[in-house]
Structure 1
């Protein structure tokens, strides 16, 4: 409720927030045949059932003062339903205008008219904000006060003697509204008037008022008194309120972020469909709950989060804005959700009347950040290993090379193979590479005729370290074959195959290199870095290098589980 509501009802927000409406505002027990509560309940029910605004006639509904004494009050209520995305009524906006002064003045005027014509004339002519029009039983105007001239525009001499329907709209005349009002006044003691009327010149204005019977001293009805007041600005406010509610619903219903409208103490007044999806609460069950106690009651570590320590509660109380504040909210089932929140305060005349809180699920963003951290660590680890391998290759090659030219060529070739192995890893997944792809990448530099290698083996993926080691090993074998072995002659070839052996619990990877058609082979007199690189092979496997006369042979055996792990 706003400040005007609290002032009009003589209540305190903290004393009535969260309490049932009719517990706070019961009927006055001292008034006989009082129907204020019954009529208001019926209006609220009609708004819910029809899902459209329900406007009531002026209601006599006394208000209990803080000292417990009831004070006479008269109201003009309007109930506006807030409709959800499925057509359901989420809540009601109850809008009332205190017309006690108007009613009391009208009552005084009627009393004065009955008691004294002279007094009646004085009151009527002094009420320039009220159009007071007297008519006979046929509806012909007999009196037209200054207020009527001011509100409706016609002078008294222009209107006396004309029918009262003159200032009704064409559609109301066609519907017989003037006659219905007079009949209601006769049957019920008064006829309500809340509709568009015409001014002189055809302009329209929204008026509210009543039609009451006029009686003579004997109590016989001799005519009617109609009292009107221009309420166009209030009508425009009501329409604007309904339009704003509709716009707010349209906007919040179609955004992906959860949106809450809160009152000054953090009670949820509105929750959009995205809030339902994110937190698992139906919107109508969220409305009326405290946001902090329902969704923000614990910290990420599981410790209780008291409201006095919550930045959002403090921002709501102080009317402060918050942008992109990260925290953890909790779903209905207790599941934590990392979120980013924005708080936009709602102010009226400098006073905080609530806030709009937008909540964005950042689970995916957090997951991406975590995956990026893992990738960065993996890249850092792999880079360090690669640099260590480059350092080893360079130092060992320089140590065993006969001259700088040979060293430069050997280093360049080995680094190219290393680079190709890295390209293979990056082109596929970051944690494995195909054996066939590694083989083709390592031997591609040497297969100048396209048919020097006979390659055969099953599809198989191995880890990154194993892929680098295998690439370097095959490069050294191929380099030696080009210099001294089968690939140094036109007809020489190399058979390269790999297989999986053993049972399902102990699978062994076996790779065989066999040179054929080259010059006769004699074992080397010394081992260079290349030979050591070949024989060192895999940390988790064994390499057998032999030199039969028909061609060099190299066999690698290693547990499959070690290769897949990248050992």
Structure 2
């Protein structure tokens, strides 16, 4: 198989150093990394996921799922190819890729087929390895875009975890170093000047402060040699060993006087091989020991691993090297100075060397008595500025308010030391996070004499912790983003944690879910339960790591979902199962994925077809010439059109017949043609001018010819692709571009272009005038600056995000005039401008000034408001229609009140048939009979119509429609307007007048007939003429009174009894033989006349034909209130008895119609007229309120 892509050795060394700095290789499993690979496997639906870290000769897996080995050699690594990638590397089929087709993991177990890996890029840019997913089946379409994005996000999570892990380790290391320094200082002081004891104490402290060190030594100079004066246990055989200063690593450190960090001593020419082999030395720290400016020795810490130490380790070692100087000072001054001066010397030596620590000495009142250079570097104040002042200067105001400095000193006094982490202040006011320790200083008798406070700047670590929390939050969001129900089963506690998808996909609310394995198993279909339970137990109790099953899972609504469930067992170092993590996938997702694959294959075939179509239909000439017979030569239609012929004969002979000339008129030789130059020499020809005589037309056209070789994986030229461009077309396009530029510059619209970051690159002259800016100033602003301040929030929240997300936004906004500050109303749009490759060039706009339009709109709105006020106040309905279509464009409120439905949105005159109206004779009004239609379609100057219109509530109303045309300035009819009047009251008045006329005519006839009947009856019963005259006169007077009641109608109301009495009392005999029974209620004037007329008509018919036509006949008029008391109804029953047998009339005369229609029309009464043989009966019933109405 192919080897790793070669990179410069220095870059590879830097990458390995960056990897080693994280201290991650060969560490135990960690939950955060394990969770990421399991989530990657779920999101990408892959059986294998790995966090692979690439060492010098191996790849080691920090976390793995579905892949048992914990590491492989680089020969079997696929992840190594990610080193050369900037994004996700995808290999759809490992058996087809030349880099991997021979890989043993591909050709043999576990038969890997698909690979996708996202590089793990450190903050310094070095690729440490990859987060990859692997499948045992090829994936021609690779990962979906969403899966690629998720894999990249998770890869960044891995790096965040690594950075945070290192930051936390550095914090712990700093704590250890600070404690080790304090303890070492105490140990050195306790030696009482014993140099070797001091050296051993310093070496022990350094080993504790730098955990990566496996061994160490203090080497002191003795003449031209260095002597091992103190060693750790592993180097005991070397104690007392001497070696020359010249020619050794420690000697180089001593001579140069600078600390050395050597990641790999095997690469350093100064190293002595024999010493290296005996001391198992591979990487080391070398720090010179100074005394009074003279190099007197070296502190060495070493490891058998390459790149074991960091720069922080070197700084810590430097502090301890200074402590060696303290030991020397202790020994050298023991006989010459007092204990106080020796303590001062030691303290000053430490002060001058511990640059990474702020060491501050305080008196018992908290005033600064000493201040080292590290304090000046970290806090900013010099020693002379702080000595004698309170130490609370570098505490925050809130800590000073809360008395924290005093609390720290009290804690140190009571407990010996106080450790805390909090914010502190530098001299310039900047805050930084520090961990610190305050210890009480005591004299020989144990009495407190002050305090020492040690601070170390840990702001970077504090921020790293914050980044970790952000990283964890992103991890939680990624887990929530999947539709799979992800579960995490703690096998020790039997606690199962589900993500939100259990509710979203299967309906189980979190509050209703028992977090146990039993709840999960209980929700499996009874037919599947035993099988699944057994399979899960088998993988937990066995040695396997993966479990996959399909079964039916109970949803919250009682239905079952067919799911694919996959789980992975996490085991401890002894192989015991501790956790099981998995995801339950609804198989409908799989179906969608399969459909998507088929669609991808279909689109792949389509794309191949499209490429072929593009080749054939491209606007430029394209030819492909094969280097051998196995690669066919082809030419597209545009090339044939430009050349006037096809490929011609095979081989070089075809070029002899071509009619190409150089610009200077020389004929092209076969070897001059760009295609042959690309095939034979691999030359790439770009835009070479060629004059070609078209074989079909004979015309010579200038062409630009470009040609280049096509090589296979081995670099062999297989073909040459040649592109022919008609230069005349190009020149025409350039001319069009110039015209477009002129159009942009001369346009009255604001035309602008901004860079992707929102900086304005161009505004045309009209645009600059609109906003009051000169040319240069227009280019120094950003998009947001062009708008009034009140719209900035909308621009940032809606407009710019929409342009970035959707590619376009438009709407009305206000530009800001830079000269006056006034707002300018505009119709603004913004759209993405991209090149042919789809790369974003910036954002463009073509914006219209709406100032005049707004003025016209305001005037129009004012006019419309006035017109609307007029239309809404006129007492008739107004309707507008446009010509020639007849479409209804509007109407006023009165029209809707008349029609009792909204104005119909009729699209044309033919749709007027939707209206329902009738002529007086009952015929329906046709669409072409309406005035609107007659005006618009026939050109009528005036049109009118009266009709009975059926309204929206089902009632009908008589209306009158009158219309006239609307014409433009040329006299052309552009529409019509009609007025619609409610003439229902007028029409009803006319009907009542007709009814009254008919009634008067009928009444006169009845009156005459009644007079005749009275006269005849009187004369038959009279004894003589005088008696007859007297009786007849009285009866005629009574008839007149009844007539007055019927036709008077002046009173507002009358009693029911009076109406009955007067209505039937036309003759004494009738009055005596008609009996009234019932309540004497008042009835309104509208009902009085109708009831009197009805009773009169019934009386007249009874006198003529019924019970009153014979001496023994009687009539009963019975009234009663029926129905609920809240809404009573009045029922009046007319019943005849004792008359001749009744024969129903053969036809209805006016009287019968009057009886049936009178009260029913006036008071909405129901009327039942029955011609029974024993006597006529008539029952009238209506609401009492209708009888009593006066209107």
TM over 0.5: no
Q: Which has the higher contact order (CA 8 A, sep 6+)?
A: 1
